Chain A
């Protein structure tokens, strides 16, 4: 699809790359982001990449929309020619079931599987981080196997601990902060998705892939202690 340029008020512009959720459209969004960051346009103050759009936030005291639009068009003339680095796979340890994942058995029963099959399926696919939003550090993930899809809980829980890994319909995700929510909780990661005192502050960025792997309680505790001390090295490998 041809790129569409749509103003969002007098301080933001949207470049729309398509009308669907697909890896292809999302790749164009990420390419445009990389290209525009490199261009370092004076007056541009922030970017919000999403599934199919890139929002460019600017200060109209520094750049008017006509000149911005011209610059955006020039930068986005040939997205195919923009090269991105090889995406990274972030390995995310999860303690499945038990207190950490109280809905694991429900997800298994709903899909007529054994609990260990749910874990095997959940750990076997790499999930693309399409975008972050909703709360700081929350990832919208693609790529979950439909064999473990499960509707949300009818009554949302009031308090879900940070790091909880859940399933909602055909999506999987991780709660970055303690919050209420209706996801089916199958496990918990000891990793912190958002820490304002560390650099970088966020564990994931759009374009990363997440690969979940199963750990036992001891390993969970060991990693949690290292994370608290700030000594844990997150495992990242190039996507093969």
Chain B
């Protein structure tokens, strides 16, 4: 069993511990949190032989500088922040072995917004309410309920040396085949302009036809007010019908698109409130949330409508390739 810790030298803009999220408590008003880009989180974990939902670091726009006290495997997915190990460039989307004393750094953002750093064995912070995800607003989970700062030392989980890619090991239950890479085309391309697919929402009928037309035929720009709670956009006003802006406070799901009175859409993400009072015009399909989570302010989206059947077929196909089932 190998154990190591990670010392944080610089933290980057916003680096937090995230897993798949804290489910089961939304009825108490507890947001789910978790990785903004769950696809990249799972991919990073599979590359180092972890369970897909294990805790990773989510780095935002600029990456941290980390030092390893023991040997381990890491994998970086999502945004390309030009990572290097001891000054030597390393590839993303593949496992890299690190030795005691190695330093991982990032030279700068080349594409996307959020990078996921997985460590073999995961990050051994104590789970809070069933999850290691950091929920910043309430200061719970992750590493002491907050974003990383210089001087932090993260405990890593134990792991058995990795088996060669694609081979089942014998003996230890912890050893499992690891994913070597994904077929070309399955790793999304992060572009400044993205087409995002939506499914019509519970209050689509609260909007004027002209409003729905604006929503589906004009471009919306990601604003600087976007964060882990939601992406906020500016663009052509989406007109509500007279007096139909608000609803009785009701549940919000991952990717719900709310339109407040100003007609500017908000897409709700990982740290979303569990309930809200604005008309819910649509929902972004899960497959495309990975694209959205990698957009930075100034990015432009075009929204197009799809069906649940198509969305779920797409999602299932993605899962099949990723997990080989």
Where the two chains meet, the residues of A that have a C-beta atom closer than 8 Å to any C-beta of B are 6-12, 14, 16, 19-21, 33, 45-55, 57, 60-61, 64-65, 131-138, 140, 176-177, 194, 196, 201-202, 205-206
CA–CA, A33 and B28, complex, Å = 13
**A60 contact set on B, CB distance < 8 A:** 286, 311-312, 315-316
A-B contact pairs, 7 of them (CB 8 A): A8-B253, A11-B286, A46-B25, A48-B251, A52-B250, A61-B319, A177-B138
Shortest Cβ distance from A69 into B: residue: B308
Partner of B250, one of A50, A61, A135, A201: A50
Complex interface: chain B residues within 8 A of A135 (CB): 29, 137-138, 273
Question: Which one of B88-96, B160-168, B206-214, B277-285 contacts A?
Answer: B277-285
Which among B28, B255, B274 is the interface contact of A201 at CB below 8 angstroms?
A: B28
> Who on chain B is nearest to A64 by CB?
B312
- Chain A residues lying within 8 Å of B315, measured Cβ to Cβ, are 10, 60-61
Beyond the given pairs A8-B251, A9-B311, A55-B253, 4 more chain A to chain B contacts, judged by CB atoms under 8 angstroms and listed by A's residue number, are A9-B253, A51-B249, A131-B275, A134-B29
**Residue numbers in A under 8 Å from B235 (CB-CB):** none
**Which A residues are in CB contact (< 8 Å) with B308?**
7, 9-10, 65
- B202: interface (CB < 8 Å): yes
Q: Contact partner of A136 among B138, B311, B319, CB < 8 A?
A: B138
Would B28 and A9 count as touching, CB distance under 8 A? no
Q: Which residues of A contact B284 (CB under 8 A)?
A: 9
**Which residues of B are found within 8 Å of A65, using beta-carbon distances?**
308, 312
The verdict on B256 contacting chain A, using a C-beta distance below 8 Å, is: yes
Q: How far is the CA of A12 from the CA of B316 in the complex (A)?
A: 16
B128 on the interface (CB 8 Å rule)? yes
B201 on the A face (CB < 8 A)? yes
Minimum CB–CB distance for A34 against chain B, Å: 12
Residues of chain B lying within 8 A (CB to CB) of residue A138: 29
* A77 CB, min distance to chain B CBs, angstroms: 22
In the complex, whether B30 has a CB less than 8 A from a CB of chain A is yes
Q: Shortest beta-carbon distance, B88 to chain A, in Å?
A: 38
Chain B residues lying within 8 Å of A20, measured Cβ to Cβ, are: 248
A61, B318: Cα distance in complex, Å: 10
Within 8 A of A (CB), among B108-145: 128-129, 137-138, 140
Contact in complex: A10, B28 (CB < 8 Å): no
The reply to whether A196 and B273 form a contact with Cβ atoms under 8 Å apart is: no
Using CB atoms, name the residue of chain B closest to A140: B249
| B29 and A47 within 8 A (CB) | no
Q: Which residues of A contact B254 (CB under 8 A)?
A: 9, 11-12, 57
